[in-house]
Amino acid sequence: MSELRFTVDHEWLRLESDGLITVGITAYAQQALGDVVFVQVPELRTFDAGDEVAVLESVKAASSVYMPLDGEVVEVNSALESSPELINQDALGEGWFFRMRPNDVTALDSLLDQAAYERLTHEDA
């Protein structure tokens, strides 16, 4: 597994060996949301960074998942539609949302690394 990158909106990104990026929400986000009860996965199409691509609902609130980089969603985790609890059980693994092909893979470098994300979440606490 390669190094994770993070957004200020609490999404994680992992560059895979095939050049695609897997995206999900962080453990911090899923803990704040509580038990996830519904997920609407993204459409397979091109999005701009910052576009809302998915929606999830928990026992506490509804929340959006945003496109972290310009690019195309090429695969979704359809298991989340019938088993949204995967997000609570394994946010960084089986609870991934989608895989994307970025327009510019070097844009990953502009996102938060693990240390910066931990500083951000500790400031929020």
DSSP 74: E
Is residue 3 over pLDDT 90?
no
Residue linked to tokens 């453990």: 27
The architecture CATH gives domain 4-103? Beta Barrel (2.40)
pLDDT digits (tens, 9 = 90+) for 41-51: 999 999 999 99
Is residue 2 over pLDDT 70?
no
Q: How confident is the model at residue 124 (pLDDT cuts 50, 70, 90)?
A: low
Is residue 1 over pLDDT 90?
no
Give the start-to-end residue ranges of the domains of the chain: 4-103
Query: If you average pLDDT over every residue of the chain, what do you get?
Result: 93
* Helix (H), strand (E) at residue 6: strand 4-6
What residue type is assigned to position 122 of the chain? Answer: H
pLDDT digits (tens, 9 = 90+) for 29-44: 999 999 999 999 999 9
pLDDT digits (tens, 9 = 90+) for 51-101: 999 999 999 989 999 999 999 999 999 999 999 999 999 999 999 999 999
pTM beyond 0.85: the answer is yes
Burial, 27: exposed, middle or buried (Cβ in 10 Å; 0-12, 13-18, 19+)?
middle
DSSP 109: G
